[in-house]
Amino acid sequence: MQRPLTEEEKQEQTKRMMELIYQKQKEREEREKRETIEREKQRRKQGQELLLIRQKLQEDEMKKLAEERRKEKMEEKLAKQRVREKIEHDRAERAKKFGCSSATQASPLPDQMEPVLISSPSQEAPVKREYDQCKIQVRLLDGTSLT
């Protein structure tokens, strides 16, 4: 059996309990402070990672757009080259059809030509020719033409 505590022992026990409560409260506050700091660090880290991901996505999008523009320009150049070759071919066919031997010698068929590389505008200007003949073609409303 326990004997009843004296007034002095009660005060001592109360004092120890208060100190224990104070110590536990301090530990809890320190733990919460550490957890708060850790959460803040984690939040900042996630924010930086998110920023890096956004930047990478933006860079990838820019690269994709640049690649698309480059492809479009290349396709345009190739289309222009095909049109030029078609025009040359049509001229050669027309010259062959109408019997103009000087035009046939000047521009051979594209099948016989070497592949033309796309050149820069800084190359020398084409040689000027003197023309002493021409043909006039009149198209009528019904679609027929007179030469």
**Nearest in space to 109 (alpha carbons), one of 97, 92, 96:** 92
- How large is the average pLDDT for residues 50-58? 98
- How large is the average pLDDT for residues 13-40? 97
SS3 content of the chain, % helix, strand, coil (to 5): 65, 5, 30
Output the pLDDT for position 1.
Answer: 66
Residue 2 in this model has a pLDDT that exceeds 50:
yes
Residue 107 in this model has a pLDDT that exceeds 90:
no
110 pLDDT tier (thresholds 50, 70, 90): very low
35 pLDDT tier (thresholds 50, 70, 90): very high
Residue 68 in this model has a pLDDT that exceeds 80:
yes
